[in-house]
Amino acid sequence: MRTVTFRHLHRLREKYGPGISGKIIQKLLALAFCDAGFQHVVERGVQGVDIDAASCGTERYALEVKTTDGERISISRENIEALEDRAKDGYVPLIAALRMQPLEDWLFANIPLSQLRPGSIPFTRLRAYRVRDLETVVRAPFEAVVTQHFRGALSSGERYLSEILAQKREGHA
């Protein structure tokens, strides 16, 4: 990611802490999927997978979103079960991971569900299952969304981004 994008995300993390800023970044990613042309985007703040993203074609993704400062992400039994549920509905289950470091970008990993276990997963393992085409599709829209909505997210947090997502669903944004 560009330096300015990292700085914006870092400021959000400083203000809201890792937990809340993770939810804010998740909403920013959902908006990036909207801007990347996905017509059906559902962001869930609490239960189930974090984001469903589907296009008019056959692309249907269920994303469990993780942000971290380190070399690993944590995944829970509930996260895995939510991905399994969406896979039964025809969605490709992905782990969307972002290391909060300069020059890092989203990493979308399609690890076979049979190989997922609760616990800590190193980024090196995620990289073996990358979905590079999707990463490329979402990279520029994510940068643009962060720039466009940074001030609103900084001042009003999740509430602001939830309103923008609702407007997108209603076709007003």
Owner of token pair 């944590």: 74
Give DSSP secondary structure letters for 61-110: EEEEEEEESSSEEEE-HHHHHHHHHHHHTTPEEEEEEEE-STT---EEE-
Alpha-carbon 31 to chain mean position: 9
Owner of token pair 């962001």: 43
For residue 56, the model assigns a pLDDT of 79
For residue 172, the model assigns a pLDDT of 53
The CATH code of the domain at 3-170 is: 3.40.1350.10
Of the CA atoms within 13 Å of residue 42, those in its CB half-sphere come to 12
Encode the chain (173 residues) as per-residue pLDDT tens digits: 899 999 999 999 999 998 899 999 999 999 999 999 998 999 997 778 999 999 877 889 999 999 999 999 999 999 999 999 999 999 999 999 999 988 899 999 999 999 999 999 999 999 999 999 999 999 999 999 999 999 999 999 999 999 999 998 887 55
For residue 103, the model assigns a pLDDT of 87
For residue 5, the model assigns a pLDDT of 95
